[in-house]
Amino acid sequence: MHHFSTIEQAFEYFLENIYPNLSPAEKNKVKNTKYEYYKEGVKVSHKRMMRVMNEYADFEISYNIQPKSSK
């Protein structure tokens, strides 16, 4: 599994590496989100990106925390 710092990075990976392997019917479902993501001035919500990635890939969100060392 690949690890990314942001949802945008994960979505770009999805578009570059997973999207091309989808069937034409599946690509058609994602088409509008893909073009809106790359279109200047249009913002695709994190919720929408996550919904697309969850439908076509194993996608999970991970938050990590490390306690600060005591002084």
Q: Once rounded to an integer, what is the mean pLDDT over residues 8-23?
A: 95
Kindly report the three-state secondary structure assignment for every residue of the chain: CCCCCCHHHHHHHHHHHHHHHCCHHHHHHHHHHHHHHHCCCCCCCHHHHHHHHHHHCCCCCCCCCCCCCCC
- What is the per-residue pLDDT for 71? 67
CB atoms within 10 A of CB 27: 14
pLDDT digits (tens, 9 = 90+) for 17-50: 999 999 999 999 999 999 999 998 889 999 999 9
Report the chain's mean pLDDT, rounded to a whole number.
Answer: 91
**What are the structural domain ranges in the chain?**
7-56
Q: Once rounded to an integer, what is the mean pLDDT over residues 40-66?
A: 91
